[in-house]
């Protein structure tokens, strides 16, 4: 599949508070927060706290491989793909994050963070501009379970895929749910100083939460949500036509290509 960088966390350890990248590129991650009951369901991690309440679990992942993969300022000519299996048992509001990179509320250069949130419209990109907060881009890609939307599918597993490309100074986000394209692609531009860059003091990736500052987190996933099979990869060359193929194989349980 021509990935220059890739990680895959199955989140199915079943015991303890450490999760591993089965591809051997990412660091060991430690589950933070209240960890009682996080392995109560087989083959997945269950977010702590009761259904309908905000969970407090998150996992920090940081090393040089992740920094090289997540720096969007150098994305020209490449693609970035995220895939995750996600089971949300209740309708929620707000913007819980499946993952994020950088620091959303950093007030000194280099600015920048991006993330993929499971809010009402499954926002696949955020950027930090100065000290004024963050601005969302490419809203409306995928509709997960949210108040008044898709409630008949509460408590079932869904495979989400988001791909981000940068070309000719513009970003493009496209998404699939359960192997099918959702809402097509969204083309958008960034502010002149808006590309998040690698920061030696950044907080790396946060799974299941937003990177707010160097040590604190926010936007955690909701209680009793189940997560498994988190993949993030950076291609060695633009792969905009391949997202349906990747999404379909991931949804069908085929993960052999991750080792290719």
In a domain, 259, yes or no: no
In a domain, 43, yes or no: yes
Spell out the residues 6+ positions from residue 241 whose beta carbon is closer than 8 angstroms to its own: none
Q: How many domains does the chain have?
A: 1
Residue 158's domain comprises 3-252
Q: Decide the pairing of beta strands 45-46 and 113-117.
A: unpaired
In a domain, 166, yes or no: yes
The pLDDT of residue 187 is above 50: yes
In a domain, 258, yes or no: no
In a domain, 260, yes or no: no
Q: Are 55 and 221 in contact (CB under 8 A)?
A: yes
In a domain, 184, yes or no: yes
Q: Say how far apart CA 99 and CA 84 lie, in whole Å.
A: 10
The pLDDT of residue 147 is above 60: no
pLDDT tens for 60-89 read 999 989 988 888 778 888 888 999 998 887
In a domain, 152, yes or no: yes
CATH number, residue 157: 2.60.120.200
Q: Decide the pairing of beta strands 210-211 and 217-218.
A: antiparallel
Q: Say how far apart CA 86 and CA 191 lie, in whole Å.
A: 32
> Helix, strand or coil for residue 102?
strand
Q: Highest mean pLDDT: which of 79-88, 168-177, 187-196?
A: 79-88
In a domain, 257, yes or no: no
pLDDT tens for 112-125 read 677 787 754 445 55
Query: How much is the pTM?
Result: 0.87
Q: Say how far apart CA 186 and CA 174 lie, in whole Å.
A: 6
């Amino acid at each position: 599949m021509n990935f220059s960088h890739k990680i895959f966390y199955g989140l199915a350890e079943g015991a303890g508070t450490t999760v591993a990248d089965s591809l051997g590129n990412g660091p060991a991650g430690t589950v933070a927060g209240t960890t009682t009951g996080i392995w109560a369901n087989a083959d997945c991690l269950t977010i702590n706290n009761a259904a309908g309440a905000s969970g407090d679990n998150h996992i920090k992942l940081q090393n040089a491989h992740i920094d090289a993969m997540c720096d969007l300022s150098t994305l020209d000519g490449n693609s970035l793909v995220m895939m995750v299996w996600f089971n949300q048992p209740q309708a929620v509001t707000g913007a819980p994050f499946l993952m994020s990179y950088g620091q959303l509320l950093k007030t000194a250069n280099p600015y920048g963070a991006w993330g993929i949130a499971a809010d009402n419209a499954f926002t696949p990109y955020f950027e930090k501009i100065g000290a004024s907060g963050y601005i969302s881009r490419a809203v409306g890609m995928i509709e997960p379970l949210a108040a008044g939307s898709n409630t008949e599918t509460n408590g079932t597993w869904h495979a989400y895929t988001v791909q981000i490309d940068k070309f000719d100074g513009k970003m493009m986000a496209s998404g699939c749910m359960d192997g099918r394209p959702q809402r097509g692609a969204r083309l958008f531009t960034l502010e002149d100083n808006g590309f998040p860059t690698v920061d030696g003091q950044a907080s790396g990736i946060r799974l299941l939460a937003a990177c707010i500052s160097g040590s604190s987190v926010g936007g955690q996933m909701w209680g009793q949500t189940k997560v498994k099979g988190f993949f993030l990869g950076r291609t060695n060359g633009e792969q905009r036509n391949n997202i349906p193929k990747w999404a379909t194989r991931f949804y069908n349980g085929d993960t052999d290509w991750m080792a290719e």
